[in-house]
Structure 1
Amino acid sequence: MKRRTFLNRIGSILAVLGLTEAEWLTLGNRYYYALAQPSPRKLALLIGINQYPKIPALSGCLTDVELQRELLIHRFGFQSSDILTLTEEQASREFIEAAFLDHLGKQAQAGDVVVFHFSGYGSRVKLETSPDTMQNALVSANESQIAQNETIVNYLLEETLLLLLRSLPTNRVTAVLDTSYSAPSSIIGLKARVLQESPEAKLIAEELDFLKELKTQKSRSTPTVLTTTSSSKQSAREAVFSGFSAGLFTYALTQYLWEATPATKIQVALSHVENSLYKLGSKQQLDLNSTQKNQQEALLVENLLPDSNIGAEGVVRAIEEDGKTVQLWLAGLPPQVLLYYGVNSRLTLPTTEQLVLRSRSGLTAKAQFFKIEGATPAQVGQLVQEAVRVLPKNINLIIALDTRLERIERVDATSGFAAIAHMSTVVAGEQPADYIFGKLQQTPSRYGLFTLDGELILNTAGEVGEAVKVAVLRLAPKLSTLLAAKLWRLTENEGSSRLAIKATLETISDISSQALMQRQTLRTEISEKSLPTDAINRVSTKSRLIASAPTPTVPIGSRMQYRLENQSDRPVYLILLGLKNNQTATAFYSWETPQEPNTTDNKPLFREVVIAPGETLTLPQTNAGSEWVIPGPAFFSEQQLIFSTAPFNATLAVLNTANYPTPDEHPIAPLLKSLDVVQALLQDLHNASFVKTEMNGTAADSYILDVNNWASLSFTFQVV
């Protein structure tokens, strides 16, 4: 499109933004000057819209833009001048398309890296050219206008965006769409980024004309498009976190990319993101839209070209005048951990200096040098890696009360939950929460427990007419199990652990085994060595066995095992805990029967699972007596493998007081006293940390975990 045409198209928008044509030209000149810079360049266009003129506001889209911008600059080496952000009223359809053509279309060259991001409402609209079908569309900031009793919608068609992406002359194009197009079936749960379609709405003629023009152009690239959902029945969600709101998909994706190494495959990255989404209360199934051959096997390095192979939990954003206090951006910490990331946690600079966390507000924190004398001054842009995680011991399960509850129902529910240990309540949508207590949509006189995306947890619905306090009391045992799962999720540290562990979930047959999912600690001596590009591109044959679906499915009756590799120089001890359907806790049981004289009824005891340095262990051991066979009916499983350099003495002591299954039962079976077990496990991890002796004031009411002494890897799969 010619420059004059471009300016004509955005003329009306400039007035809204308060920019003169001369100011826009000056802004554009900066981008044109950059054309002379050496390739490959990295360009990004980031769109975020919270406030819409005529429809309810969203709350996390501007945070999404900030999350992406900080990631691209500090983790992937984008220049801030090469990142164009359009937010709120700037993000009209006309301006988005014009900015795409000018900022990306005119600048991108072969081999350049391009990122496009959109956070906002999505919807569906009929086109006059095909009235029998609905088309996906992104809802722009100036979404509609009324003319002669007809609603004209000013949407950006998804098809238009895809054609724009394909028009770019480089194959290193990635688009992230944190939006959706179909309204959720449940009215309970997190806010959905979808605007209900209107059969009477008509798409503005200018968009149809632009689409027609784009269809005449030749495609020059095969972009990678990451979308929040792969099913029309699912919706993109956003949530309230600790001091901020964000899209679940954007937060989970950017958090993983902070910690990940560039040699990670895109599909493996999506597996991690889906895993994270599940822990945030959503079963969104992500979609990878690309016509490029073997795109699922492509490496992140091919699309984003990161500056280094070293991941991080955050970055230094600013340094205060005294030079002793630094401001950190901590978007690399797992979302479930950030909320409880305690004062005195430590992070390491590339100079090996340690920073001690003093305060945190949302994603930003203030920290000071652990030892100020002789410390090398920090610099803005330095990455920081987790060294010590401090977690409070008094963590509650947070239950959000559905806003549809009557006032008296909320009062009774608040009173009921307050009577249960380690429980607290908030109003849904106002503060971070773990689950929702509310009414069933079909039968409002019944109460149940829901995930944050509105899915009723199995076997939590009560009888018709049940009193609120009775319903809460009935849920107490399940709430204890869910709190236990919340606590073990706080140990996850695949990105930051310094303990070299690799775990592979496999299905097995009489002939061979096939890997479904693989997890490996990323920050070990071997993984941090800089690798040449050709070495990164050589992917091992074994890793190619990992399933193509982000969350693998396992048929009922499958035989399964974990293959665990201790790549460290120390023996490691292992605990495996699990959660089925957000309802039942499970564990792996390894047994021994003590041989005591003059005793015929010896009680079998739970024993340590230990892996020697450099050794590989299959769990359970491959023999007929201890096979792990997946039972029916269908269920969703989350499992956490927790490794430590010290024995789990306290954990085993609690396990051995329970009426556990007998040895002839399945090796993975229900976990009794789950909350007691997990609290003991956290104490064992605390005891394994040598650094706690330096933090006597913190140790009494906190767990202090050293990344050198533990690793915690998470697996999820669907049984069908």
Structure 2
Amino acid sequence: MLTRRHFLQFTSSALSTIALSQLDSFTQAANLLAQPSPRKYALLVGIDSYDIDPLKGCNTDVDLQRELLIHRYGFTPNDIVELRDRNATYNNIITAFQQHLIHQAQPGDLVVFHFSGHGSRVRDRQAIPELIRNGIGLNGTIVPVDWQTNNPQQVRQIMGKTLFLLSSQLKTNNVVMILDSCHSEGGLRGNSRVRSLDSRMSSGDQLPHVIGAEAELQSRLQTAIGWGDAELQNRRKQGIAKGVAMGAASFDKLADVVNPEALELSQNDFTAGAFTYLFTRYLWQSTGARSLDSVFSQLVLSSILSSNNPDQAPVYKVAPNSGNGRKPIFFTPSALPAAEGVIHLPPKGDQVQFWLGGAAPDCLQAYETAVFNILDRRGNILGEIQQTHRSGLVGYGKLIPSSTLQAPTQLQVGMLLREKVRGIPDHLTLKIGLDASLGEALPIIQQGLLEMAKVAVVPIAEQQELHYIVGRVENLDSPTPRSIAQRSQKGQWCLLTPALEPLPGALGDPNDTVETMLDQLRRRLKTLQAKQLLKTMMGDASTMKISVDLVPAEIVDPKEMTTRPIGPAQTVMSQSAIATNPAAVVVSPKFNRGTIVQVRLRNQEAVPLYMAMMVIFRDGSLSVAYPYAIDAPIDEALVAPTSEKLLKYAFELKFATVFELLVIASRRPLNKLLKAVKEIADQRGEAHRGKPIGLKDDRSIEVATDMLMEIDEISQRAGARPALPERRIVDMNQLGVLSTIVQVKG
């Protein structure tokens, strides 16, 4: 369950507080999006410039949240207050909360408080029972920039109790509190900074108290509300004060520590909070009234499959008896089409600047020279922008004149961007860090990796983009994630994420030679290269109306595939299950281990589509799940217009795991993929067994490369042209990809 009773009560207890006519229609829709009543207020706090353990991505978090709230949820810029770095002092945060949120928000209004920075812990003389450890009361805090005092036993921090009282004073129940921070041991995990400040550094092994001003503020707030101590304690035991609270990390009740941490994500040329980036990017791609429960179900599984921190599990809590888990995020349905970006500043001359908050991290390198469709708020295409370059999440480009948009002066802030053509660089490189635990084997491994094509060995350093780390478990008592101790033997060779979480499957036993391990490593990296290319080439984008269902098998071994038109009964499906928007990710199916399932593909386009399925597992391994290696794979891959196909074979979900199912749809057959799958199956004698075909070693990268070459040819035949000669292109009108994350429970 995501909403555990003791959610964040200790380590994240701060959360517990809480055409010209088309152009005209664009303006009208924009005005409707930002209606004056009910009002929407936001206080966004981001602190990078701490004197101790400074961070890198908190200001990016504020940018991510601001652009989302303005352009996706209709917030007026004047109703958003930002406190960054040196302005995010204790007094300024408290004052802004009171004056901007409490004093202005009326019943029915929407209030958002976002904090990105360090979290910590302090002593609390009035702690609720769940937060008492060994007779000592504790409380989580958020850490302002001026947290230090002259007294090492006192800190200037904002307790969860204070945020609870502040939230209780709000006149509205529509409250969203987001904390991208945690309360674990701070420092680095691989190349990832943990957003936690260990207060013990200033007071030995004992946790400090807060300053007297914090206790006095709590007393004033409590008096103003009219609660006695017993009433306050009772309300805090019940849960958060109002609305919804969400954050980056959960509380492990068994070990009394945070597992895992709120981490910073270094991606290409920018750094952001891993949770904030995942959360805001998902909402750019989400349409309709997706509930909080369904959104977080997807976010948790997306985190598990992330190569940066597969065990970071974002969490949330709703006010008691509110039913807020069934309500939309920000209590506001999104009436806008999904998008990768938005024009967020007026053009300067012929240059257009836009925000790429909806872009998939795997695809950012493909957005150096992409082409985007310009959309109005109803999804109508108004024109195109040719991107010229990118800096972080800010893209730059030029308008391609059309009958509707002939000059940059016609562009308006708030116009959405949906990718049309993606440019895949030929120089995609897998970046590998080598940990010092490798000892004398390090130079041998480094030399072996340098001999691999498109693999680079890079330093393990903060803000250095890494894809994976090679290391060796030498000391199980070292301050590394507990998962290493739980899953690995001492001395075992491991392939790790940038946050030092081991990928499933070791590289070898502790007694294996360096040469044996290196051979295993090369094999794994070739498969991971194929995964990198596939995700960059396809991401999870689709403008095609396709869907996939995994259903308990009706019949285990039907003699014929079932193909039938989609009638009225079949077209009534949940919105999230159909890729009517780009980069759609469907609601995550969950099955018990041992379930036998079949796959049903739906083509709701008016033209036939050739469809294939690939499976990506947590360890990076790949399988082609459809079409099967039969005598006529092209015929099998074809799904007729407005029809559905129940695939012939059933699969048993044998293991508890999480995997990603990619459904690939093309207007032309992917002959090279089909040919390769048939060849592999024939070689293995699996041509008629009807089971997924695993891709290994050189074969995996060969298949992925052949797919890119073929998609490039299809795209160019359709009229798309590469902006640079060293890039292959993917025309998103010719190719659709739908990503489904599947969880198999033990």
TM-score range normalised by the length of the shorter chain: 0.7 to 0.9
Q: Which amino acid aligns with 2:732?
A: D
Alignment partner of 2:707 out of 676, 681, 686:
681
Tell me if structure 1 keeps the 8 A contact 2:188–2:194: no
Q: Deviation at 1:661?
A: 6.0
The residue number in structure 1 matching 2:424 is: 391
Normalised TM-score (structure 1):
0.80
CA deviations on 1:620-657 (whole Å, 9 max, x unpaired) are 43xxxx3211113x333222222222212110111122
Q: Which amino acid aligns with 1:225?
A: A
The residue number in structure 1 matching 2:72 is: 75
CA deviations on 1:519-578 (whole Å, 9 max, x unpaired) are 432438xx9xxxxxxxxxxxxxxx9xx98xxx6653321122333322211222222212
Closer/same/farther in 2, CA of residues 186 and 522 from structure 1, 3 Å limit:
same
Answering whether residue 509 of structure 2 is matched by residue 451 of structure 1, we say no
The residue number in structure 2 matching 1:501 is: 546
- Measure the CA separation in 1 of the matches of 2:690 and 2:197: 47
Alignment partner of 1:145 out of 149, 156, 166:
149
User: Within 5 A, what are the aligned runs for 1:46-445?
Assistant: 46-53=44-51, 55-130=52-127, 131-147=135-151, 150-183=152-185, 187-188=189-190, 190-196=192-198, 198=200, 199-204=205-210, 205-215=212-222, 217=225, 222-232=242-252, 233-277=259-303, 278-283=305-310, 284-291=312-319, 292-300=321-329, 303-304=331-332, 306=334, 308-322=335-349, 324-350=350-376, 352-371=382-401, 375-377=406-408, 378-402=411-435, 411-428=443-460, 429-442=462-475
Q: Which amino acid aligns with 1:651?
A: L
Q: Deviation at 1:354?
A: 0.8
Tell me if structure 1 keeps the 8 A contact 2:46–2:62: yes
Which secondary structure does the structure 2 equivalent of 1:689 belong to? helix
Q: Deviation at 1:155?
A: 2.0
Tell me if structure 1 keeps the 8 A contact 2:139–2:159: yes
The residue number in structure 2 matching 1:530 is: none
Tell me if structure 1 keeps the 8 A contact 2:126–2:137: no
Higher relative contact order (CA 8 A, sep 6+): 2
Normalised TM-score (structure 2):
0.78
- Measure the CA separation in 2 of the matches of 1:252 and 1:69: 15
The residue number in structure 2 matching 1:558 is: 595
Which secondary structure does the structure 2 equivalent of 1:343 belong to? coil
Closer/same/farther in 2, CA of residues 701 and 91 from structure 1, 3 Å limit:
closer
The residue number in structure 2 matching 1:671 is: 695
Closer/same/farther in 2, CA of residues 704 and 663 from structure 1, 3 Å limit:
closer
The residue number in structure 2 matching 1:641 is: 663
Tell me if structure 2 keeps the 8 A contact 1:347–1:356: no
Q: Which amino acid aligns with 2:55?
A: L
- Measure the CA separation in 1 of the matches of 2:267 and 2:169: 37
Closer/same/farther in 2, CA of residues 178 and 70 from structure 1, 3 Å limit:
same
Percent sequence identity is 26
Tell me if structure 2 keeps the 8 A contact 1:435–1:451: yes
The residue number in structure 2 matching 1:614 is: 642
Closer/same/farther in 2, CA of residues 416 and 137 from structure 1, 3 Å limit:
same
- Measure the CA separation in 2 of the matches of 1:181 and 1:660: 51
- Structure 1 runs not aligned, ≥5 long: 1-36, 528-542, 595-603
Tell me if structure 2 keeps the 8 A contact 1:398–1:425: yes
- Measure the CA separation in 1 of the matches of 2:593 and 2:187: 28
Closer/same/farther in 2, CA of residues 235 and 321 from structure 1, 3 Å limit:
closer
Tell me if structure 1 keeps the 8 A contact 2:369–2:423: yes
Tell me if structure 2 keeps the 8 A contact 1:644–1:710: yes
- Measure the CA separation in 1 of the matches of 2:577 and 2:695: 24
Which secondary structure does the structure 1 equivalent of 2:366 belong to? coil
Q: Deviation at 1:442?
A: 2.3
Q: Deviation at 1:156?
A: 1.4
Tell me if structure 2 keeps the 8 A contact 1:502–1:518: no
Alignment partner of 2:653 out of 587, 612, 630:
630
- Measure the CA separation in 2 of the matches of 1:214 and 1:506: 53
Tell me if structure 2 keeps the 8 A contact 1:313–1:386: yes
Tell me if structure 1 keeps the 8 A contact 2:56–2:272: yes
Aligned residues, how many? 637
- Measure the CA separation in 2 of the matches of 1:161 and 1:394: 49
Tell me if structure 2 keeps the 8 A contact 1:47–1:118: yes
Q: Deviation at 1:326?
A: 0.8
Closer/same/farther in 2, CA of residues 519 and 163 from structure 1, 3 Å limit:
farther
Q: Deviation at 1:449?
A: 0.9
Of stretches 689-698 and 606-615 in structure 1, the one that deviates more from structure 2 is 689-698
Closer/same/farther in 2, CA of residues 385 and 636 from structure 1, 3 Å limit:
closer
Of stretches 203-212 and 647-656 in structure 1, the one that deviates more from structure 2 is 203-212
CA deviations on 1:242-289 (whole Å, 9 max, x unpaired) are 221101111111112222213222233224433543334223222121
Q: Which amino acid aligns with 1:631?
A: K
Closer/same/farther in 2, CA of residues 590 and 708 from structure 1, 3 Å limit:
closer
Q: Deviation at 1:173?
A: 1.4
Closer/same/farther in 2, CA of residues 509 and 155 from structure 1, 3 Å limit:
farther
- Structure 2 runs not aligned, ≥5 long: 1-34, 128-134, 227-234, 253-258, 477-489, 557-572
Q: Deviation at 1:325?
A: 1.9
Q: Which amino acid aligns with 2:469?
A: I
- Measure the CA separation in 1 of the matches of 2:553 and 2:325: 24
Which secondary structure does the structure 1 equivalent of 2:249 belong to? coil
Q: Which amino acid aligns with 2:216?
A: D
- Measure the CA separation in 2 of the matches of 1:592 and 1:413: 37
Q: Deviation at 1:65?
A: 0.7
Q: Which amino acid aligns with 2:602?
A: E
- Measure the CA separation in 2 of the matches of 1:664 and 1:656: 10
- Measure the CA separation in 2 of the matches of 1:454 and 1:683: 34
The residue number in structure 2 matching 1:521 is: 579
- Measure the CA separation in 1 of the matches of 2:535 and 2:528: 11
- Measure the CA separation in 2 of the matches of 1:608 and 1:699: 35
Q: Deviation at 1:185?
A: 12
Q: Deviation at 1:157?
A: 1.6
Closer/same/farther in 2, CA of residues 162 and 689 from structure 1, 3 Å limit:
farther
The residue number in structure 2 matching 1:573 is: 610
Which secondary structure does the structure 2 equivalent of 1:315 belong to? strand
- Measure the CA separation in 1 of the matches of 2:197 and 2:387: 41
The residue number in structure 2 matching 1:655 is: 677
Which secondary structure does the structure 2 equivalent of 1:285 belong to? coil
- CA RMSD for the aligned pairs? 3.4
Tell me if structure 1 keeps the 8 A contact 2:507–2:520: no
- Measure the CA separation in 2 of the matches of 1:231 and 1:645: 47
